[in-house]
Amino acid sequence: METEHKLDAEIPPAHTQPKQFEARNEFVLTHSGDMSERIRNFDWSHTPLGPMETWSRDLLARVLGLAATGRLNSGSEESFPHRSGQYETLLNKAPLGVYLVDADMRIRVVNPIAKAVFGDIPDLIGRDFNEVIHRLWKKEYADEVVQLFRHTLETGEPVESPVRSEYRIDRNATEYYEWRLERIDLPDGQYGVACYFRDVSAQVQVQARIAESEERYRGIVNQSVGAIVEADPSGHFTMVNDRFCEMTGYSREELLSLGMLTLTHPEDLVRSRKQLEQLMAGGAAYEIEKRYIRRDGSVIWVHKSASALRGENGTLQSLIAVLIDITHSKQTEAALQQLNLHLENLVQERTSELQSAIQSLREEIVGRIRVEKELNFNRDRLRVLSRRLVEVQEQERRALARELHDRVGQGMTAVNLNLNILRDQLDAETLARVGKRLEDSISLLEETIPAVRNLMSNLRPALLDEYGLVTALGTHLKDFSSRYGIPVVFESSATPVPRLESSIEITLLRIAQEALFNIVKHAQASEVRLDLTWLGSTVSLSVQDNGVGMDLTRPDAHTGSHGLTIMRERAEAVGGTLKVASEPGRGTTIEVHIPAPSVMQQAAVTGAGK
């Protein structure tokens, strides 16, 4: 622009460092002259004060000189009178504290910022700098400052002070300043010391807070249970916390030279990379469970939450990930799965064991049922056979009895009759000769026929068929009593026992006969009692003696007695039961119960059936 001209060119350097001055010529004033605006726009806050801008100091030094000698607004500055107002503006609006101390160490110029720093001290201009400074600072610091001013004044060496904190005794507060002292030539030919300073308390405090905050952040990050990492947009670690180092076994330095996916287990690499690339390409934050290979080669499981930090325009600034070691929970999970599997196996084993147990039980039951059926079948068959046997036996006996009656008995009777006839027809001489023998023969027959009759009766009591059980029993008992001399009491139930099925009648009679026979053989009884009862559909017989009895607990008590076995078999053959009760010395009782409808009842049933 044509209207521009270098300020530097117009204002001759008042300083001894023209080189520096020339090197920094960015400061440009326009003709329209809004210099203060430009100064304000210049970003001081980002520029360390150390190499404080030469241009501004130089310019300010000249302005300070003018101000110190009272020529700033007097219009007496010939070289650029039209700009004197602007110089004042420059001084007053400079973002620096600026003041000037003259060779007599009196304050000559103070710009508004500096004035504010000097605080409540009135009438600063012309005051003794030493006195003023000692009102602000503690003596040690104030002395040091004054000494530095004197040094610069005497030697012309500038002094740069780094930021330092000092305690303001007047304000009872710590303030932070950075400042620079320079000797300048005043228009009146004297030296002065210009102090440019900046109150950086706010900055320092902010920095302190930032530092503190960063420290806290670092603390949080490092103490975090989770590992926290940050990576640049290319995926290289830029920050890893302690936990991540512990987790991976690598040092921070090693990690910072690695890429995010370097540690990922090969098997998890493909999906990890896919996720990361999606995130980099603008995708949403994601979570992933994957494995890392640690420095020592061991494998860990991590849960990783990754997200991206993006600038305002959406450009990727960094990648941040938080990782939690889930190896233990994975192991636990695996252990649980293992345990589950084990349990399932156990359950399955147990189930199949149970099933096979149930199966074998079932088979056993089936087997038992079959055996039981067979047993029942055999028992039934046995009963049928026994019954049949009894029947056959009875038939045989009946047939035998009939033979005895019809042939032997009748034949002997006929012979007996014939011998009698012969005897009657013999003459006296013949009778004398053979009469004795004939008589003996007749007598023999007369003895033999009753024997045959008894045999016949035992084989098949004619009474039983003709008169029924009660009659047959009664006759037998009388015979028994008279034969063996044992009295028998016979009682039949109040309800007359009807005619029963022939096989049942003969069974009961046979059992009674057998029981009585046993009594004679073993019991040594003095009395026998026999009861026959019929209760509608069951006939019961009991034979009781007062003999020596027997010990039924002896294993051979039942089987040992052939008689008992025969009686029981007979009872069971007709569907009945037989019980024996006995004790040594207390006699024996035999009880038989047989289901026995009367013949009449049977006929009725049969008739109704037709």
Using CB under 8 A, which of the segments 13-21, 119-127, 176-184, 466-474 binds another protein? 466-474
- Comparing CB distances to another protein, the nearer of 116 and 451 is 451
Q: What is the C-alpha separation between 67 and 84, in angstroms, rounded?
A: 10
For the four alpha carbons of 248, 249, 252 and 254, in that order, the dihedral sign comes to negative
Residue pair 548/558 in contact (Cβ under 8 Å)? The answer is: no
Options 330, 453, 499, 522; binder of another protein; rule CB under 8 A: 453
- Interaction between residue 425 and another protein (CB under 8 A): yes
- Comparing CB distances to another protein, the nearer of 463 and 500 is 463
Specify the length of the chain in residues.
Answer: 610
- Interaction between residue 420 and another protein (CB under 8 A): yes
Site for another protein in 477-506 (CB under 8 A): 478
DSSP label of 496: P
Sheet holding 286-293, edge to edge: 237-240, 227-231, 316-325, 299-310, 286-293
Using CB under 8 A, which of the segments 70-78, 120-128, 302-310, 411-419 binds another protein? 411-419
In whole angstroms, the minimum distance from the beta carbon of 472 to another protein comes to 9
- Interaction between residue 405 and another protein (CB under 8 A): yes
Residue pair 518/511 in contact (Cβ under 8 Å)? The answer is: no
DSSP label of 285: P
In whole angstroms, the minimum distance from the beta carbon of 425 to another protein comes to 7
- Interaction between residue 421 and another protein (CB under 8 A): yes
- Comparing CB distances to another protein, the nearer of 419 and 581 is 419
- Comparing CB distances to another protein, the nearer of 115 and 405 is 405
Task: Note the Cα 37 to chain centre separation in Å.
Answer: 75
Mask of contacts with another protein, 357-396, x by CB under 8 A? ----------------------------------------
Report which residue type is found at 267.
E
- Interaction between residue 410 and another protein (CB under 8 A): yes
Mask of contacts with another protein, 426-445, x by CB under 8 A? ----------------x--x
In whole angstroms, the minimum distance from the beta carbon of 492 to another protein comes to 15
Q: Kindly report the CA angle at 565 between 545 and 555, in degrees rounded to 5?
A: 85
- Comparing CB distances to another protein, the nearer of 42 and 467 is 467
- Interaction between residue 471 and another protein (CB under 8 A): yes
Residue pair 106/82 in contact (Cβ under 8 Å)? The answer is: no
Q: What is the C-alpha separation between 43 and 32, in angstroms, rounded?
A: 21
End-to-end CA distance of the chain: 148
Q: Sort strands 316-325 and 577-582 into parallel, antiparallel or unpaired.
A: unpaired
Q: Which residues pair with 320 in a beta bridge?
A: 230, 307
Using CB under 8 A, which of the segments 283-291, 420-428, 491-499, 556-564 binds another protein? 420-428
Residue pair 493/534 in contact (Cβ under 8 Å)? The answer is: yes
In whole angstroms, the minimum distance from the beta carbon of 428 to another protein comes to 17
Options 413, 524, 565, 577; binder of another protein; rule CB under 8 A: 413
Using CB under 8 A, which of the segments 332-340, 358-366, 467-475, 586-594 binds another protein? 467-475
**Total residues contacting another protein (rule CB under 8 A)?**
32
Alpha carbons within 13 angstroms on the beta-carbon side of residue 572 total: 15
Contacts of 282 (CB under 8 A, 6+ apart): 308, 314
**């008739």: which residue's tokens?**
607
- Comparing CB distances to another protein, the nearer of 239 and 438 is 438
Options 467, 557, 566, 581; binder of another protein; rule CB under 8 A: 467
- Comparing CB distances to another protein, the nearer of 353 and 439 is 439
- Comparing CB distances to another protein, the nearer of 285 and 451 is 451
In whole angstroms, the minimum distance from the beta carbon of 471 to another protein comes to 5
Sheet holding 191-199, edge to edge: 107-110, 97-102, 191-199, 173-185, 159-168
Structure tokens at 498: 């009807």
Q: Which residues pair with 264 in a beta bridge?
A: 292
- Interaction between residue 446 and another protein (CB under 8 A): yes
Site for another protein in 201-240 (CB under 8 A): none
- Comparing CB distances to another protein, the nearer of 283 and 498 is 498
Contacts of 150 (CB under 8 A, 6+ apart): 105
For the four alpha carbons of 411, 414, 419 and 422, in that order, the dihedral sign comes to negative
Alpha-carbon distances of 16 from 12, 20, 168, 185, 291, rounded to whole Å: 11, 9, 34, 10, 67
Q: Sort strands 191-199 and 173-185 into parallel, antiparallel or unpaired.
A: antiparallel
In whole angstroms, the minimum distance from the beta carbon of 607 to another protein comes to 25
Put residue 302 in one of left, alpha, beta given phi > 0 → left and psi -120 to 50 → alpha.
beta
Options 419, 426, 566, 581; binder of another protein; rule CB under 8 A: 419
In whole angstroms, the minimum distance from the beta carbon of 430 to another protein comes to 16
Q: What is the C-alpha separation between 207 and 313, in angstroms, rounded?
A: 27
In whole angstroms, the minimum distance from the beta carbon of 481 to another protein comes to 14
- Interaction between residue 450 and another protein (CB under 8 A): yes
- Interaction between residue 463 and another protein (CB under 8 A): yes
Q: Kindly report the CA angle at 489 between 488 and 491, in degrees rounded to 5?
A: 140
Options 409, 547, 576, 587; binder of another protein; rule CB under 8 A: 409
Contacts of 34 (CB under 8 A, 6+ apart): none
- Interaction between residue 411 and another protein (CB under 8 A): yes
- Interaction between residue 406 and another protein (CB under 8 A): yes
- Interaction between residue 456 and another protein (CB under 8 A): yes
- Comparing CB distances to another protein, the nearer of 405 and 522 is 405
In whole angstroms, the minimum distance from the beta carbon of 423 to another protein comes to 8
Residues in contact with another protein by the rule CB under 8 A: 405-406, 409-414, 416-421, 424-425, 442, 445-450, 453, 456, 462-463, 466-467, 471, 475, 478
